A and B are shown apart, each in its own frame.
Chain A
């Protein structure tokens, strides 16, 4: 599975590059990330490609351990020491892969932003809120006067609904939702062109979550910021994203317009994940047998085949090739072709033992 890009992927990449000419802010091509662990290398991200236009929100969904957070951090050059990265991340014409730490550091803030899940752990408890902003502005826009920095700070906070009277408070004096607003203001005070929001509302209550999602939606139209929104909540994707990428075991298995994907999922994993989501309209319980794979020893060929209700013999034997399914949809599943690449007999149903409850979860 670590071989060169298959034909379909290469073709897809070429077509995406045409799209890039119309103004992508970010182009990711065949990105791979490995972690070294005691049990051998873990391929957390394994050949991921996509584009992002200015002002666009791409939702990245998947279950825990599928590599979605690793992908988000890789895009910002925030991976820990000892991680190997391969592939291309073109941001405004420059390749971020292989860029020096110093160059990346200069880009983070004014060009690349990050909004974390737990804001309290990202704010310095001993620093006033205003001080956080002054530090960010000092580092990236050294020409500003004290009064200008104060003005920019108040403006940025007002934008996210934090009253000016609270500017000199400390982080612990704010509620969880307010802290997340502050984090968003901090990420956006330098007007980055691309922001990764990693589960930005997971720790928040449903009403505050709705407030924050509304705020993010307003900000991206205002500043034209492109955003990768990482979440496990399909409801959030449906309501806030233009396009969605579904990730399973390090690979994007389906990508397309969010409405289209939710209305007519092509990949069996997308469909099963949607069916197993419990929402207000749920009338029966459904789940996916088995459990997400261990990325140190992923299943051969299609990584979803052991859990897939429609697995064929080819799925267990040959790596799937990405195909286009119209409307900009990409699917990594043998059900959708290319049919001429399926070996004889490969289309037969995969015989296997039933997964016992004990193996699942």
Chain B
């Protein structure tokens, strides 16, 4: 299930350099100790990182110089990574986890923010200065098949980083290091594998070869993007086990990018849950899984299908899907899907549209026809915030529209959207819903984790209580 098949294309380019003197594989004892203690020095310090992708319009837009805006794939991310740690970046597609991982290695340029690696700023560093650092920063991609050039045998593929950077003195020295790297990942005896081509290998063997290539330069940090999600169930555990072995042997630090909560729970020391370009919850794995704070994290955990027939499908699945990052929802990006959203979460016109459309898929046909003719084109609701004018259907009045909205509300008073509506009024011949202003949540401490949710911010829950008193019954 490749979610980012194109990612593999860059695999060959991430390999980098090492100095001839560091050919050995002995781990840095300090790093291993740090990992064991769980409190090593900070290896990577990321502050308010932004990665934006410009949206390209058609040729006419470009000709006319019109700007189509941009997508904030990573939208203000801050975290620290300690030496020897495994940090999970967990999220659905479109959460920005892959872009964040690539940005950490300088594979996509950040729009703003800072990435400090061992105290050195990587953002804005010239390629020439970045290159020697890249030998310490490696990446493993999801699709091992796409990561390996089908025309290169393993000796060339795994030794490629050495060749690019002219690191091994001569053919024999290079072969020796490639053989050592292959044996370290279990492709032993190496003589059997040096002459093999990717096509001769199973999926798991290919991913082993990719790991051999990623570790041949003795890196310090590996960003692994869904390294097992394309492998069969019966072999996934082997690759995860190998990753843990390599971490112990080489004193590695991992950023593990995945949508799979099960492997993240097993592999990671800490987990960052991402949604639409931001970290919404970050903390120790045990606490994130044992006592999730963000409603999004809770929904994700409840929705994971477990091979336990006594557990049935969750009754409450958040509606809708991850929204388009180009038109981010107001306030908290998760509020349109959140079962616990309230007054200050950012309710707006398009949420009302989604609510009505959803309702209309569930009504009996006659009622559905009557309601659709009462309200005009729902597209008019998009983009409106604050006081949102609701269009009137042909031959209907604003009072009809207001009455219908009251009926919809009475039919499902527990719907979170209504907490965000101060009142529905008729003025100047139009019905309008007055929404409370939303507030964009930042990370706040809650227990041992940081979470971006107003539910855990006493200031916000207090404000919501005051607003609720203003609401018209």
* Total count of chain A residues near the partner, CB < 8 A: 61
Among B202, B301, B305, B308, max chain A CB count under 10 A is at B305
Check if B188 is an interface residue, CB within 8 A of chain A.
yes
Check B358–A163 contact: CB distance below 8 A.
yes
CB distance from A246 to the nearest CB of B (A): 12
Check if A274 is an interface residue, CB within 8 A of chain B.
yes
Check if B263 is an interface residue, CB within 8 A of chain A.
yes
**Which one of B60-68, B232-240, B401-409, B430-438 is at the interface?**
B232-240
CB distance from A272 to the nearest CB of B (A): 7
Contacts of A272 in B (CB 8 A): 234
Check A163–B262 contact: CB distance below 8 A.
no
CB distance from A269 to the nearest CB of B (A): 9
Q: Which of A205, A232, A233 contacts B92 (CB 8 A)?
A: A205
Check A164–B360 contact: CB distance below 8 A.
yes
Question: When each residue 183-210 of chain B gets 1 if its CB lies under 8 Å from chain A and 0 otherwise, what string results?
Answer: 0001111001100000000111100100
Q: Which of B193, B238, B304 contacts A279 (CB 8 A)?
A: B304
Among B202, B259, B307, B372, max chain A CB count under 10 A is at B307
Check A207–B318 contact: CB distance below 8 A.
yes
Q: Once the chains are docked, how many angstroms separate the CA of A337 from the CA of B357?
A: 58
Within 8 A of B (CB), among A209-243: 209-211, 213-214, 217, 232-240
Within 8 A of A (CB), among B227-278: 231-238, 240-241, 259-263, 265-266
Check if B361 is an interface residue, CB within 8 A of chain A.
yes
Q: Once the chains are docked, how many angstroms separate the CA of A279 from the CA of B299?
A: 16
A-B contact count (CB 8 A): 177
Within 8 A of B (CB), among A272-321: 272-274, 276-282, 285-288, 291-292
Within 8 A of A (CB), among B291-315: 299-301, 303-314
Check if A147 is an interface residue, CB within 8 A of chain B.
no
Residue in chain B with minimal CB distance to A272: B234
Check A207–B299 contact: CB distance below 8 A.
yes
Check B235–A285 contact: CB distance below 8 A.
no
Check if B93 is an interface residue, CB within 8 A of chain A.
yes
Check B303–A206 contact: CB distance below 8 A.
yes
Question: When each residue 150-192 of chain A gets 1 if its CB lies under 8 Å from chain B and 0 otherwise, what string results?
Answer: 0000010111011111000000000111100000000000000
Q: Which of A213, A232, A357 contacts B232 (CB 8 A)?
A: A232
Check if B439 is an interface residue, CB within 8 A of chain A.
no
Residue in chain A with minimal CB distance to B240: A285
Check B306–A238 contact: CB distance below 8 A.
yes
Check B1–A207 contact: CB distance below 8 A.
no
CB distance from B90 to the nearest CB of A (A): 10
Q: List 13 A-B contacts (CB under 8 A).
A: A164-B368, A206-B261, A208-B92, A214-B317, A235-B306, A237-B307, A238-B307, A259-B309, A278-B263, A292-B234, A360-B235, A360-B238, A361-B204
Q: Which residues of A contact B (CB under 8 A)?
A: 63-64, 155, 157-159, 161-165, 175-178, 202-203, 205-211, 213-214, 217, 232-240, 258-259, 262-263, 272-274, 276-282, 285-288, 291-292, 356-358, 360-361
Q: Which residues of B contact A (CB under 8 A)?
A: 1, 3, 92-93, 186-189, 192-193, 202-205, 208, 231-238, 240-241, 259-263, 265-266, 289, 299-301, 303-314, 317-319, 321-322, 337, 357-358, 360-362, 365, 368, 372, 378
